[in-house]
Structures are given as structure tokens and as C-alpha cells.
Structure 1
Amino acid sequence: MARNHRLGRPAAAVLTLVVLLLSAACGGGGSDGDGGSAKAAGSPKSTGPYDVSALRGELGSLGAGAGTSGSAGRLLGVVDDKSPWQYDIVKTFTSQAGRAPDIREYYATWGDDFDAEGNAFLWQHGQLPMLSLVPSDTALADIAGGYDDAYVHSLARQIASYHGPLVLSFAGEMNGPWNSWGPGHAKAADFTTAWKHVHDVFREQKVGNVIWVWSPHVVDSGTTAKLAPYYPGDAYVDWVGLIGYYGPIDGTAFSSLFAPTMRQIATFTHKPVLITETGVAESPRKEAQVRDLFQGAAAAEVIGLVWYDQRKDWPGSSQLMDWRIDTSVGSRAAFRAESTRHHFGHPFTSG
């Protein structure tokens, strides 16, 4: 659903931050009046560089072992267009899902500054931040060629200054022709070279708090490009992310929506899989499809999924789709029951 996002540079006024922090202290990160449970802060109160290697290893092994032998469950997250400081989506998700999210994904446009304080706010309240960085109108070939290196170096320094982990997805849905960085607008080689270049700059800057997620859209009638040419290689990727929706066109069941793409990806990598965007559109089949999503994801041993809890026009049309969890009592009940049954939920604890 990250199709042609246009976001402004984050502007965190001091007064706004104070108001938000006071709001969080009064209940933003705690128990919700509709039954959501509070989660312990996930970040040790450290001022030194954060090394994500241990956390990366722990989370990367969730798929096969979720809920067994006392282990924590798979990741369960939520995504929207708001900045990290806009916490309402977390509170709404907590009320609807019956538990707080483990991941809070948000979007930023290439050229935006990184909001270290906003991401720290999320991590301290139990959400692993996930940044989906959208190149927008910046050509991948220019990024690959180093024309924006001043920004890449600045971004790397800003992210390193945030003393917590960050999941970073660069140029997601790179196989989607609706994107200015997708087929028909850029070559697969432009994408892989740009990805490697950004990754190499971060490595040179010794940025050790990033989990790199490669996030194609599932292969369907609108995204037919082969994925292997878009893969930067295992040395440049920590997790495979997948974006796919149960909607009016291709999304009817996990077996047809996600499984074919996972089989294609398995021919060139065995990295852990996180569904980085998904949702089920309102329809008479929504309750059954919510159940199918969690059952299929668990059987496929993904390490988690991130829900798009919004009402939004289907890309390329004026058809309004409602992806929210609680469009009906049945949908909400199915979400809560199946996410619990299949061990989606990985609370982060301090220390």
C-alpha cells in the first residue's frame, strides 16, 4: 500500500513533543480502556551505540519456534502514514487487537531527516520502529551513482545517534510498476546497485543498529516481474519482507496471495520472512480471510506480520477499501482469536 507516498520533512516542535510525552505518560503506552495490555519498555536506557546483532538473531529465529518451549511469539505490528510521534494508531490497534503492537511501521520520503527522538519514544514504549524509506521522485540510478551521498551519510549518522534498533526497508515494492522506482521507470540493476550503495555507506559509518528488510510486493496480476534480479544478495539483507493484501483483485487466500511468491524467493534466499504490509478488505469473506491469513502465515513460518489498519482508496482507483480490524464484531474476534492461537505477539522487555 506504500504506493506514491508523499511525506514532508518531520518537524518536531518542542511544544508538540511535550504534549505528546505527557499524553503517553498519562496512558499512551499503558493499559487501554478497551482491554489492551501495556508492554514493558523495550530499550535499556543507554546512551551508547546500539548493537542490533543479538536482537536480529533472536527475532530471525521466531518463525519455526514461535510459542514453543516458553519462547515468545511471532511479531505483530501496525503501519500507517503518520510520524513516530503520532501514537494514536498504536492505541487504536491495542484496542482492536486486544494487545499492543510489537512493530510500528511508518513511511518517510528520501531526503527526510531521521527522527531519533520519535523512534526512541516508540522503542521505549515497546514498539520496534520500522522505517519504510520511499525514494519518491529521486532516481535510483542517481542514488547508486553517489549523487545523494551527502544525504546518505547524514541519514546514517542520524540513525546511529538513535540508541535503539531500527528495521529499515528501502524502496519497498520495487517490483510494482505503479512506483517511480519500479518496472518501466527503473531497471532491476538500478535498484540493487542503489540498495548496496546505501548499505555500504551505513557499513562504512559503522551503523550497527539497523535490520535491513527487502520488501517486494507479492507477485500477482499487477506485479509480474521476476524477483531474483531485484535481490541485492544475502550479505545485504537481514529479512525478506512481503507486501500483499486480501483485496478485490488477487488476494483471496494465503495459498494464492503469498505462497507462490515465497516459493519463488526460496529459490535464491532462505532469509527469515516478515509480512511487512497486509490487511483484509471489508467483504462478506473478511472473517474467514482473517483466519486464513494467520493460519497460512503460521504454517509458512513467517516471523511476523504488520497490519495496515486504514480506510483507503485501492491504488489506481477511487474504490474505498476498509482494511481496519474491527469493521465487524466477527472480524475483530477472528483477529484476536487467530493471532493468539498462532502465537503472534512478541513483547519486548527492558534489560
Structure 2
Amino acid sequence: MATARHRSRLTVAALLMAAVCLSASACGGAGDGDGTEQGRATAAPAHFRVSSMLRPSGRALGVVDDKTPWQYGIVTAFTRETGRAPDIREYYSSWGDDFDPEGNAFLWKHGRLPMMALVPSDTSLADIAKGADDAYIHRLADQIAAYDGPLALSFAGEMNGPWNSWGPGHSGSADFVAAWKHVHDLFAARGVTNVIWVWTPHVVDTGSTAPLHPYYPGDAYVDWVGLIGYYGPIDGTAFSTLFAPTLRQIAHFSGKPVLIAETGVAQGKDKEAHIRDLFQGAARAGVIGIVWYDQRKDWPGSDQLMDWRIGTSTGALAAFQVESARNGFGHSFRSG
């Protein structure tokens, strides 16, 4: 009789525990299934999701240079000169390099949306598309997914520029699209939800004449369109001729938000006027932000060294400060 009563109490206890588990959904999902605090503590954290960031409500200001996320000097200098910290911090990473979770987390913690331009200099797009570097893509995807924050990712930017080893004359548009889709699909298969995919052609001009539509992977593979173009002595004299023709071309096949992902105004007698024109034209065009290359750099496709920095003159700096504020540039992604 004692044995029977003991079994009866066990049965009742088991039924009560099952009811609690069902009502609280506490059994069999999180942790290792044993229903203990230790089991629940080992549950994998939810990955950051960028879905709420894909249609920004404001216009961002950003800065880009060839330093790592930890080299914070460009952010400090930009803040000091413009009177406002950048909303986007873009940097370059070579194909094969590991992702820096701490550096990117530092940027996000301090209000900067990290943007990584992934440059496939030492490999071919065709090989990427065929799976030759899948081990690296898997590793990179896992590293980015484990970082608890968003990342804007530009892969093989300026793919329409013949000066790049992955541009016309080296790789075709079909190779680029196949490589982009392959990288995107492998990220999706690894459960990556914290990447904003930024397709970044160079503006169509005398140096990059290839039609853009064949290079477009499709709306399902792109979150933002990012344009690269500079005001200078060759093609960049006004927004209407530098960016507007490319914007019209893109509007025929994509309605994604447009970010000017890399730009600058060369030092010269018209720098102040060009800065005013850039911000006014970008605001009229409805772009979601401007990322400034605040460095000295060769003109794209040539060895002509230009000074793109904001503070090359008092007038240029004042024009940047006044026009960026007047046209509503400055949007914190952390505010939602």
C-alpha cells in the first residue's frame, strides 16, 4: 500500500508539473530541456534584427576612411569639425579578413552604425559564386551574427568601375550577381539577421559607363542602394550631372532607399558651392544619408591626388555645417 500511495503522489506531481510547463511554455524550448535554471541560462540569445532600420525616417551623416573600427580618430575629427558625431562609420575590409566584433560593438555602443565595405581584391567573383571560399563566408557570417548589433555591408563596391579587379574587363555583371547572391544566400542559411545589404555602384560617368541594371541582384537581395561619386575636376561639377542621371537609371529597376555611400568635394575655388549643391541636391532626391570620405585620395581611376577633407578651408567647413543642418542631415539609428 505504501508503494502504491508513493506512485500516486508521483503521478499527481508529474501531472501538475506538466500543466505548469504547458501554461508557461517553459519546458522543451529554451535551454537543454531539463527545466532547470542552468538549462535556461544556456539558451542562445536572440540575434539582432535590422528590419526596423531598413526604411530610415531621417537623413544620416557618415564618415569613411581606410582605418579600422578601433582607429577612432576620424570619428573624433569629424565630430569636432562638423559639430555633430557621424551616424555611420564606414570602413574597408579585405576578402579573407575576420570580422572585428569588439570594434563594431564599440561603434554601435557609441551611436555609430558600422558599415563594412568588403573588398574582394585577391579572389575572383566567379570563384566566389562557385563556392571556392564558402568556408570563409560561413566563418564571416557566424562572426557577424554573433556580434550584437547591426552592420551595413557593401560587397564588391564600384563593381561597374574598370579600375577594380572585379569590374568590367575583369569580371562580368553575371559574375557579380552570382557572387552577391551566393554570399547573401549563405548568410541567410546561417541565420544572419543583423546585416543591411548595401549595393554600391559608382555613378555612371565617363569612367564607368556600364549599364547598372545587369549588375543588380534584385530587390530580394538588396536593402539599400549606395552610390559612390565625387565632386572634382573630371565629372563632378553638380548634383544634376554627378548623381541625378544614375538615380534616374536606378529608379527604373529598384525602389530601395538610396544612400550616398562615399563622396567628397575636391579642394578648389568652387568647393563651398559644391558642398551646398551636394546637400541641397541630396535632400531634394530623398536620399537617406551622405557618407563623406574625409581624406586625401586619388581621383577614381587615376593617380591624380585630391584633397576631399571637410576642413580644407574655413568656408568649406562652414558650408558643410550650415547645409547639412539646413537640409536635415543627422539621424541617429539608435533612436529607431
TM-score > 0.5 by shorter chain: yes
CA contact (8 A) 2:207 2:301 kept: no
Shift of 1:55: 2.0
Structure 1 unpaired stretches of 5+: 1-45, 63-72
For the pair 1:152 / 2:137, whether they are aligned, the reply is yes
Task: Tell me the distance in 2 between the aligned counterparts of 1:211 and 1:217.
Answer: 19
Moved more, 264-273 or 315-324: 315-324
Matched, 1:253 2:238: yes
Name the structure 2 match of 1:15.
none
Structure number with greater CO (CA < 8 Å, separation at least 6) is 1
2:177 to 163, 188, 192: 192
| Distance in 1, Cα, partners of 2:199 & 2:66 | 19
2:120 touches 2:166 (CA, 8 Å); kept in 1? yes
Structure 2 counterpart of 1:134, one-letter code: V
Q: Distance in 2 between matches of 1:91 and 1:302?
A: 25
1:256 Cα deviation from its structure 2 partner: 0.1
Structure 1 residues 273-302: Cα deviation after superposition (integer angstroms, max 9, x where no partner): 000000000010000000000000000000
Find 2:205's aligned residue among 200, 214, 220: 220
Matched, 1:54 2:52: yes
Aligned partners of 1:128 and 1:319: how far apart in 2?
Answer: 31
Q: Comparing 158-167 with 306-315, which one deviates more in the overlay?
A: 306-315
* Shift in Å, 1:49: 1.4
Report the number of matched residues.
293
Q: Does 1:276 align with 2:274?
A: no
- Shift, 1:247, TM fit: 1.1
Counterparts of 1:39-188 in structure 2, within 5 Å, are 48-57=46-55, 59=56, 62=57, 73-188=58-173
- 2:264 corresponds to 1:264: no
Bigger CA radius of gyration: 2
Distance 1:47 1:320 in 2: 48
- 1:41 is matched with which residue? none
2:128 maps to a residue whose letter is I
Which secondary structure state, in structure 2, belongs to the residue aligned with residue 168 of structure 1?
A: strand
State the partner residue of 1:17. none
2:328 equivalent in structure 1: 343
- Tell me, in whole angstroms, the C-alpha distance in 1 between the residues paired with 2:332 and 2:245: 31
Residue type at the aligned position of 1:139: S
C-alpha separation between the residues in 1 aligned to 2:76 and 2:51? 29
The structure that is helix-richer by fraction is 2
The answer to whether residue 278 in structure 2 is matched with residue 293 in structure 1 is: yes
The answer to whether the 8 A contact 2:91-2:117 is kept is yes
CA contact (8 A) 2:276 2:320 kept: yes
> Structure 2-normalised TM-score?
0.85
Give the 3-state SS of the residue equivalent to 2:78 in structure 1: helix
1:48-80 deviations in Å (ceiling 9; x for gaps): 4111111224x2xx3xxxxxxxxxx31100000
Is 1:310 the counterpart of 2:290? The answer is: no
Q: Residues of 2 paired with 1:312 and 1:194: CA distance?
A: 28
Q: Is the 8 A contact 2:53 2:333 kept in 1?
A: no
Cα shift at 1:311: 1.1
Query: Is structure 2 residue 312 aligned with structure 1 residue 327?
Result: yes
* Secondary structure of the structure 2 residue equivalent to 1:274: strand
Tell me, which stretches of 5 or more residues in structure 2 are unaligned?
1-43
Over residues 243-270 of structure 1, what are the superposed CA-to-partner deviations in whole Å (9 max), with x where a residue is unaligned?
A: 0000110000000000000000001111
Identical counterparts, % of pairs: 73
Report the secondary structure of 2:237's partner residue: coil
Deviation at 1:349, TM superposition (A): 4.0
Runs in 1 of length 4+ with deviation above 6 angstroms?
none
Query: What's the CA shift for 1:47?
Result: 5.8
**Matched AA of 2:48:** Y
Q: Conserved in 2, the CA contact under 8 Å of 1:48 and 1:163?
A: no
Q: How much has 1:320 moved relative to structure 2?
A: 2.1
Q: In structure 2, what residue type is equivalent to 1:242?
A: L
In the alignment, the residues of structure 2 paired with residue 203 and residue 105 of structure 1 have an alpha-carbon distance, to the nearest angstrom, of 23
Answer yes or no: is the 8 Å Cα contact 1:47–1:163 preserved in 2: no
Counterpart residue identity of residue 100, structure 1: A
For the aligned residue pairs, the C-alpha RMSD in angstroms reads 1.4
Q: State the alpha-carbon separation in 2 of the partners of residues 317 and 264 from structure 1.
A: 25
Quickly say closer, same or farther: Cα 1:139–1:350, change in 2 above 3 A.
Answer: same
